[in-house]
Amino acid sequence: MIQFLSTRGLGPMACSLSQLTRNIRVHSIQCIKLSKSLHREPLEHGIRRAFATVTTSSVGAETGRANANRDPMFRWKIDLVGDKIYAEDKLSSNKVSIPGRWLRDICSCSSCRNRDTAQRQINVFHPTFADACKISKIQSIDSPSGRAFQVTFKDGHQSLILAIRLEQRHAHEQALHRAGQTDMTFWDSDISKQPPVVNYQAVRDGPGMAELMRKIQEFGFCFVSEMPVDPSKTESFLQSVGPIRNTHYGGFYDFTSDLSMKDTAYTSEALEPHTDTTYFTEPAGLQALHLLSHTSGSNVGGRTWEDGLGGESILVDGFAAAQKLLSQDENAYQLLSTVGVYGHASGNQGISIQPSRGFPTISHHPETGLIEQVRWNNADRAGVIASWNILDAWYDAAAKFDGLLHDQKNQYEFQLKPGTLLRM
């Protein structure tokens, strides 16, 4: 989902954390937010592999490459014994039989799956389907796509299942694939030498759309150059990317720094590095900022800005900061990965919003263990869900993370200008 803001004459400094969620599918901009606990292993093991697939480089900005969608590890050896298919774990040598119900459930023939929608048309949970899931015969055959199993069920239905589909079935690799995990580049202030950018017309014509999505995934943000300085065309452009999310601010909104909404973002005050909408259970996955004009005016304090000012901004790579925290203080990283924090939006009369529960500052995918999201907004922070005995330690950990965000070596400072859209 997208939240869009067009701005006119915003004050001297606006800061944002980039890469609050990077594992956004190329063909979808809907953010993936799952459970934030690592349910399969203790966290002290999980955080050690939070960046397990990332290597660093000292060339330019600090870079990390997540080697997710490489050739999958064939963990399972598949054998046919009698009327059963067995999967042997190559790591442990444990052997288990593959359930007939699962084999019937994954059948992709036109009787079991709708060809137009790819939706399942059978219900293996229904009592009347019990016998239909029992195997009467299995044959190993060579199909044009490779080794396969011809499975005949007791109701006479036949399914052709490729052996490679069974060999590749492993939770970790499957989760990486489903999450759309791609290569990522972690950056610092050196990103100013060559920030990611795509051309507006290239995106509108088609080929540039994939490049825009790839760069947002890789860097957490991307500029769109040569944008028409027009709110309606900006809105149309964003709708071509995906649906615009409606919030209490609206969906697409055009504003100036007049505090019309009771939020410091609507003033000319400098903002600290932060991620937006931490007060939502599901924060906005992508945001867009387009400075439509530089105009002189006064903020709520009465100070008048010179013409041409406004749009001064800072981006910080939240994932890179989290990685540095992990390398410097693993205990601090663990606290920020487990202690829930509430956010709130309470400025305007009749508005009081908070998430359904407190979320940790740093979240991980529950299956892959990889970092998934950073939530950080000191201004909108509400209660910290920590017991008395660890509360002070949480503040120490948060202070270390905050220090990384404020370190100028980690900040990319720039000025938004009319005709350049920022997607993050």
Q: What is the CATH number of the domain that holds 89?
A: 3.30.2020.30
Q: Tell me the β-bridge partners of 247.
A: 250
| pLDDT, tens digit (0-9, with 9 covering 90-100), for 69-84 | 333 445 677 887 877 8
Strand order in the sheet with 312-317: 14-18, 312-317, 411-415
Of 61, 57, 52, 35, give the one whose Cα is nearest residue 317.
61
Q: Tell me the β-bridge partners of 144.
A: none
Predicted confidence at residue 5, as pLDDT, reads: 37
Q: What is the CATH number of the domain that holds 284?
A: 3.60.130.10
Predicted confidence at residue 78, as pLDDT, reads: 80
- What element of type H or E holds 223? strand 222-225
Of 111, 139, 169, which residue is a domain's last?
169
**Region of poorest pLDDT, from 9-13, 133-137, 404-408:** 9-13
Q: Same domain for 105 and 234?
A: no
Most confident of 41-45, 122-126, 278-282: 122-126
Higher pLDDT, 420 or 182: 420
Of 169, 201, 217, which residue is a domain's last?
169
Decide if pLDDT at 332 tops 90.
yes
Predicted confidence at residue 153, as pLDDT, reads: 94
Of 136, 169, 202, which residue is a domain's last?
169
Decide if pLDDT at 218 tops 90.
yes
CA distances from 261 to 176, 188, 250 (A): 40, 32, 11
Higher pLDDT, 69 or 166: 166
Domain assignment present for residue 34? The answer is yes
Domain assignment present for residue 21? The answer is yes
Predicted confidence at residue 246, as pLDDT, reads: 84
- Looking at the structure of the chain, the number of domains it has is 2
Decide if pLDDT at 349 tops 70.
yes
Question: CB under 8 Å to 201, separation ≥6 — which residues?
Answer: 208, 226
**Region of poorest pLDDT, from 16-25, 80-89, 231-240, 324-333:** 16-25
Decide if pLDDT at 61 tops 70.
no
Q: Same domain for 19 and 97?
A: no
CA distance 268 to 260: 12
Predicted confidence at residue 49, as pLDDT, reads: 45
Q: Same domain for 153 and 235?
A: no
Q: Same domain for 330 and 383?
A: yes
CA distances from 128 to 107, 124, 155, 188 (A): 18, 9, 11, 60
- % residues pLDDT > 70 (the chain): 73
Residue 236 pLDDT class (50, 70, 90 cuts): very high
Residue 282 has, within 13 A of its CA and on its CB side, a CA count of 14
Higher pLDDT, 170 or 197: 197
Question: CB under 8 Å to 396, separation ≥6 — which residues?
Answer: 332
Q: Same domain for 415 and 340?
A: yes
Q: Same domain for 14 and 141?
A: no
Predicted confidence at residue 262, as pLDDT, reads: 46
Q: Same domain for 121 and 226?
A: no
**Region of poorest pLDDT, from 39-53, 333-347, 375-389:** 39-53
Question: CB under 8 Å to 386, separation ≥6 — which residues?
Answer: 339, 394
Predicted confidence at residue 317, as pLDDT, reads: 97
Q: Which domain holds residue 219?
A: 2-68+183-423
Domain assignment present for residue 123? The answer is yes
Of 14, 8, 11, give the one whose Cα is nearest residue 306.
11
Compute the mean pLDDT over every residue in the chain, rounded to the nearest whole number: 78
Give the other-Cβ count within 10 Å of 180's Cβ: 18
320 and 62 in contact (C-beta within 8 Å)? Answer: yes
Predicted confidence at residue 172, as pLDDT, reads: 67
Predicted confidence at residue 390, as pLDDT, reads: 97
Q: Same domain for 107 and 33?
A: no
Q: Same domain for 344 and 204?
A: yes
| DSSP state letter for 152 | E
Domain assignment present for residue 203? The answer is yes
Q: Same domain for 64 and 94?
A: no
CA distance 354 to 377: 13
| pLDDT, tens digit (0-9, with 9 covering 90-100), for 379-412 | 999 999 999 999 999 999 999 999 999 999 999 9
151 and 134 in contact (C-beta within 8 Å)? Answer: no
Q: Is the dihedral of CA 247, 250, 255, 261 positive or negative?
A: negative
- Locus of tokens 């920020």: 336
Q: Same domain for 274 and 354?
A: yes
Decide if pLDDT at 12 tops 90.
no
Of 265, 198, 182, 186, give the one whose Cα is nearest residue 7.
265
CA 17 to chain centre: 13
Predicted confidence at residue 34, as pLDDT, reads: 24
pTM above 0.95, yes or no: no
CA distance 12 to 14: 7
Domain assignment present for residue 35? The answer is yes
Domain assignment present for residue 175? The answer is no
| pLDDT, tens digit (0-9, with 9 covering 90-100), for 138-157 | 888 898 988 888 999 999 99
Question: CB under 8 Å to 153, separation ≥6 — which residues?
Answer: 100, 104, 132, 133, 134, 135, 136, 159
CA dihedral 396, 400, 403, 404 (to 10 degrees): -160
Domain assignment present for residue 108? The answer is yes
Decide if pLDDT at 267 tops 80.
no
Q: Is the dihedral of CA 375, 379, 380, 382 positive or negative?
A: positive
- % residues pLDDT > 90 (the chain): 46
Strand order in the sheet with 135-143: 135-143, 146-153, 158-162
Domain assignment present for residue 91? The answer is yes
- Tell me the residue type at 138: I
Predicted confidence at residue 29, as pLDDT, reads: 23
Q: Same domain for 387 and 249?
A: yes
Residue 254 pLDDT class (50, 70, 90 cuts): low
